[in-house]
Structure 1
Amino acid sequence: MIAATEEFRRLGRDDFLLKYRFRRATSYELVLEGLRYDSKAIVGVAHGHATGDVLGPRDFSGGAATVARCLRELGFVVETGGIPLNRAVLLERLRKLKASRGPGNPSPSRHQPLSLLWAMSRAADGPPRMTPWPRWRDEVGPLLAEFGLPNAKATPEYPFWHLRGSGLWEVQGIPPTLAADMPKVSILAAHDAQAGFTEEAAVLLQDPVTRLDAIATICETYLRGVDRQALFNRMGLAGYTTAGSLLNPPEAETSGAGVDEYGRPTGPAPRRDATRSVIVRDGALARRVKELEGDQCQICGTLLRYLDRPYSEAAHIRGLGSPHHGPDELQNLLCLCANCHVLFDGLEIYVDSDGLVRGTRGGREPRPLRRNPSHPVNEAHISYHRNLCDVNTHGSTVN
């Protein structure tokens, strides 16, 4: 048992567990001389030191009745340990990435944060969580060159491998005999290595609220001063630059349209067939929120009329589509005029923690969001929208 703990200390937890293909303990830890060890992994490796036959994670079961009892009967101290991964733990680990610093550069490298953002962009659509090395090299490498620190060399192999230290990442395909040190690029390619979030982290990041919090944490901690819109557009995270759908429809093709001698179009505008997939909204909910608010904008108080009838718009606070996946419910709706709806979806205005509507760029007089007791608003959706604004304004104005 002692030999196994010595090897654990020599290799470090991550490399030890990778070498013998064990996962981190979630329930029981061996405590020896003030240090904590993953109990099941220690028992399996200790069996190898004693008999020459290392037990793998599938060769025996762990838990109170097996590993914990065995270790206690031998006189070792076993305590409940292993921190289960939850939203708070995930965000804390993101704040404490082991980002290196180059010579003469006090700022931490952006390689790991940028790599995690790219992986999160894939998590939003739910594809396989593991990425083969060739794709990682070809897609992440250019991002590191474009958005990394000035004069920093783009080395996608480093985050591919060293993100394991975050406790949120794993690398598969590398034989234990080659995993003691960081493998060369040729080894990553030869063994079809692939990397990605652990299963626990990937499940957490499927939740849109947790994913936005994770993106905000990375941007706030490591990427201040980076052009967020350019970054998100390049990363495949363009959906996070708006709270709704402000994308303009494709312009009509002009081929075949008549033109005069100066090249100006003549006659009726051309048409073309198009097929779109749209979210089906509950029209009754939209009518209900307008009735409750009397068609009056909850932000500016404007009461518009169109064709001699009141006109207002039902605005979702947390967008319905990807990547926000907000619910189509009354508590996620505001009654707004057309102008405020555009500003709200475009992240130009937000509701602060005191219920005041402010501008993300400043220069706007705060005013309270009008509330109707018959129209409850879910504060979690307001907070989500505020967090989205914060991500897009470099964390400098939204509170």
Structure 2
Amino acid sequence: MGAEAGETCTTAALCMYDLSYRPTSLPRMGLGDIRHEHVIAATEEFRRLGREEFLRTYGFGRARSYQLVLDGRRYDSKAIAGVAHGYATGDFLSAADFSGGAATVARCLRELGFVVETGAPSDNRAGLLARLRQLRVSRGPGNPAPSRHQPLSLLWAMARAADDRPRLTPWPTFRDEVGPLLVEFGLPNAKATPEYPFWHLQGSELWEVRGIPAELAMRMPNVGLFNEHHPQAGFTAETADLLCDPVTRLEAIATICETYLGDIDRQALFSRIGLSGYTTAGGPLTPWAEEPGGADTDEYGRSAGPAPRREATRSVIVRDEALARKVKELEDDRCQVCDTALRYLNRPYSEAAHIRGLGSPHHGPDELQNLLCLCANCHVLFDGLEIYVDTEGLVRGTRGDRAPRPLRRAPGHPIDEAHVAYHRDLCNLNARKPAAS
């Protein structure tokens, strides 16, 4: 093997371990360099990062016509091909570097043995929400309230979707995780029977069960057959694809809660079910403050030494500091809610607050249209869903204990109303009474 070939292999190997490395000396190659293992590596990174972050990282939009289907999951085919090309050659292609379509991306992936479907799945968000409102829930004798088994099971599955976990779950896992939820949050005196939602959610047309022989699937199998065959169940591929969109997922969660779980403590439910990210506008709060431990104290409770330290490793989102400075400059470091201008160390102090949080599960964009300039106090209230902006541009309290006042907007500071609506929906979801009409 010549020096040039050895250098190319070394470069490709570097890219496998350092995705920030982008060589500029390699010639642009066609999609013919991609192999099956390169596509698999790209899909694994897609799942690890999540769809929105994957597309944003590599400069792609959502697929409109062709989607790669693998193990029940859907992937944006052109983005997968561009990243797979990077794994193959070290040259990561962006959307502008090549054309997609039947003759290029779809053909390449199909020749490698992958399934590529023509036409994006139905984007019928309204249809999804309508089916959620029309679940065929049972009613026990003497109890007119609808059973919570199916709604709780769907929320549990949505938590898995938000966490980017496999959409199909084996029966033993479903039984062991959903069963206790039905005891804790189901109707009083209702028997916990996870096998019923596992099977009967198929009637919603949003759910499927695999692994039960056809001759046994004419009627609901008994628990013994579930234990024997270990079937899997979860959202259909189309439903799972719709729920990948954070806005749709929030609307779906809100629909279930408002339709079937109106009197449940939602913060307690979300914390228990894995949806605690929906109790704040910025994602889950750090649990460090609740961890045990502290400095030794004397008999009077005074510290007997310096505060203890612990080593910690965490992953943080890298924000665009230029955008934060921009919104502060536009608003002259004055809070857009209360008009306060703070100073700290003899300098103006304000905070750039994202309307729709950057992290999971909200996946908001880091852009000027998604930023407000707030004081520290209003920032905490906004992220804690204590205040929101109504459809008229007035800031209100979710508890109804604040006089409304206009959200001040400086000229040249665009705000995307879709992000404001998302935050308002979060407030509605967590409020005892709807925060906005």
Gaps of 5+ in 2: 1-120
* Equivalent in 269, 272, 296 of residue 231 of structure 1: 269
- In structure 2, the CA distance between the partners of 1:310 and 1:245, relative to structure 1 (3 Å rule), is farther
CA distance in 2, matches of 1:102, 1:154: 12
Matched, 1:323 2:361: yes
Query: Are the counterparts in 2 of residues 352 and 398 from structure 1 also a CA contact under 8 Å?
Result: yes
Q: Report Cα offsets for 1:65-113 as digits up to 9, x if no partner.
A: xxxxxxxxxxxxxxxxxx9462111111001111111112111111101
Q: Which residue of 2 aligns with 1:135?
A: 173
Q: Secondary structure at the match of 1:244?
A: coil
**AA paired with 2:414?**
P
Matched, 1:188 2:226: yes
* Equivalent in 372, 389, 395 of residue 351 of structure 1: 389
CA distance in 1, matches of 2:241, 2:135: 20
CA distance in 2, matches of 1:124, 1:205: 8
Mapping 1:1-399, distance limit 5 Å: 84=122, 86-245=124-283, 247-248=285-286, 250-251=288-289, 254=293, 257=295, 259-262=297-300, 264-399=302-437
Q: Secondary structure at the match of 1:131?
A: strand
CA distance in 1, matches of 2:156, 2:284: 23
CA distance in 2, matches of 1:194, 1:140: 14
CA distance in 1, matches of 2:432, 2:215: 44
Tell me the CA shift for residue 149 of structure 1: 1.0
Aligned-residue identity in percent: 73
Where in structure 1 do 4 or more consecutive aligned residues deviate above 6 Å? none
- In structure 2, the CA distance between the partners of 1:253 and 1:274, relative to structure 1 (3 Å rule), is farther
CA distance in 2, matches of 1:379, 1:352: 10
Gaps of 5+ in 1: 1-82
TM-score when scaled to structure 1?
A: 0.76
Q: Secondary structure at the match of 1:243?
A: coil
Query: Are the counterparts in 2 of residues 282 and 328 from structure 1 also a CA contact under 8 Å?
Result: yes
Tell me the CA shift for residue 272 of structure 1: 2.2
Q: Secondary structure at the match of 2:288?
A: coil
Q: Which residue of 1 aligns with 2:106?
A: none
- In structure 2, the CA distance between the partners of 1:363 and 1:253, relative to structure 1 (3 Å rule), is closer
Query: Are the counterparts in 1 of residues 298 and 304 from structure 2 also a CA contact under 8 Å?
Result: yes
CA distance in 2, matches of 1:249, 1:237: 15
Query: Are the counterparts in 2 of residues 121 and 235 from structure 1 also a CA contact under 8 Å?
Result: yes
CA distance in 1, matches of 2:434, 2:122: 33
**AA paired with 1:112?**
Q
Query: Are the counterparts in 2 of residues 246 and 346 from structure 1 also a CA contact under 8 Å?
Result: no
Tell me the CA shift for residue 396 of structure 1: 2.8
Query: Are the counterparts in 2 of residues 299 and 336 from structure 1 also a CA contact under 8 Å?
Result: yes
CA distance in 1, matches of 2:283, 2:122: 37
Query: Are the counterparts in 1 of residues 334 and 350 from structure 2 also a CA contact under 8 Å?
Result: yes
Q: Secondary structure at the match of 2:173?
A: helix
The farther-off stretch of 237-246 and 140-149 is 237-246
The farther-off stretch of 377-386 and 257-266 is 257-266
Q: Report Cα offsets for 1:191-233 as digits up to 9, x if no partner.
A: 1111000000001101111100000000111110110000000
CA distance in 1, matches of 2:433, 2:203: 27
By relative contact order (CA 8 Å, sep 6+), the higher-ranking structure is 1
Q: Report Cα offsets for 1:129-183 as digits up to 9, x if no partner.
A: 1011011111001101111111111110000000000010000001110011100
**AA paired with 1:212?**
L
Q: Secondary structure at the match of 1:221?
A: helix
CA distance in 1, matches of 2:283, 2:130: 32
Query: Are the counterparts in 1 of residues 283 and 361 from structure 2 also a CA contact under 8 Å?
Result: no
CA distance in 1, matches of 2:379, 2:284: 10
Query: Are the counterparts in 1 of residues 206 and 239 from structure 2 also a CA contact under 8 Å?
Result: yes
Query: Are the counterparts in 2 of residues 219 and 394 from structure 1 also a CA contact under 8 Å?
Result: no
Q: Secondary structure at the match of 2:372?
A: strand
CA distance in 2, matches of 1:253, 1:185: 42
The farther-off stretch of 243-252 and 142-151 is 243-252
- In structure 2, the CA distance between the partners of 1:90 and 1:332, relative to structure 1 (3 Å rule), is same
- In structure 2, the CA distance between the partners of 1:85 and 1:338, relative to structure 1 (3 Å rule), is closer
CA distance in 1, matches of 2:234, 2:373: 42
Q: Which residue of 2 aligns with 1:78?
A: none
- In structure 2, the CA distance between the partners of 1:184 and 1:355, relative to structure 1 (3 Å rule), is same
Query: Are the counterparts in 2 of residues 348 and 361 from structure 1 also a CA contact under 8 Å?
Result: yes
CA distance in 1, matches of 2:284, 2:276: 11
Tell me the CA shift for residue 341 of structure 1: 0.2
RMSD of aligned alpha carbons: 1.7
**AA paired with 1:240?**
Y
